[in-house]
A = this chain, B = another copy of it.
Amino acid sequence: MTHALGTNPFSVYFSLNNGLSDTAPSLKRHLSNMKGMYADGKAQAAMLEGGDPLLYEFYDLGVKESEGSLAFGTSIVYPGKVGDEYYMTKGHYHTIRDTAEVYYCIGGRGFMLMENEAGDWIGEPFTPGKAVYVPGGYAHRSINTGTEPLITFYVFRSDAGHDYGSIETKGFRKIVVERDGAPAIIDNPHWT
């Protein structure tokens, strides 16, 4: 008897210290996977000549897609910057727009940057213990502005789907950069 994952009870370990599972494989995103996503393209190109650092990793356990099932896992964004812009996830809308996502920060600090298609945006601060609610209709991106890995545990409807389209071509309206030694949310110079 075989069942799709999510039909029966199961459990997965994710370390509260580093966010990593000891059984599930993570998906890894290196600097080379983020071409054109940082505002300072020259800085990104220069960095790539010296190597291809791991920017973040996360999990897709493969829970069956249905409107009653939930996908979950951890996201780990490592500390660092491309030029003066902090390491971040690619970010995405849900394909089924009206589906939410919840993130619970278990380590590190940064922002959940969110924007909707009407132009509303907000950067909710992440600190350990902070749960951030991403409502339906909001593209969302995790950004590490600290010196430790930014670790979040996330849950969303398993059939929500990921839509990167408009983000890959235009980015987000705002970017998060270091200014005078502190994080600042500023207009994305390439967003039109």
CB distance from A154 to the nearest CB of B (A): 9
Q: A104's contact among B114, B128, B132, B153, by CB below 8 Å, is which?
A: B153
Contacts of A122 in B (CB 8 A): 9
Binds B, one of A25-33, A67-75, A141-149, A175-183: A67-75
A contacts with B: majority SS = strand
Contact residue among B11, B66, B99, B131 (Cβ-Cβ distance under 8 Å from A72): B131
* A69–B9 CB distance below 8 A: no
A191 within 8 A of partner (CB) = no
A115 to chain B: closest residue by CB: B9
Q: Say whether A34 faces chain B, with CB atoms less than 8 Å apart.
A: no
Cα separation A9 to B100 with both chains bound (whole Å): 10
Q: How large is the interface on A (under 10, 10 to 19, 20 to 34, 35 or more residues)?
A: 35 or more
Closest-CB distance, A81 to chain B (whole angstroms) = 24
Whether A102 is near chain B, meaning CB under 8 Å from some CB there, is: yes
Given contacts A72-B155, A133-B6, A155-B155, contact A104 B102 (CB under 8 A): no
Q: For A133, list chain B residues within 8 Å (CB).
A: 6, 9-12, 63, 70, 72
Q: Which residue of B lies closest to A10 (CB)?
A: B133
A153 touches B132 (CB 8 A): no
Cα A16 to Cα B153 in complex, Å, equals: 13
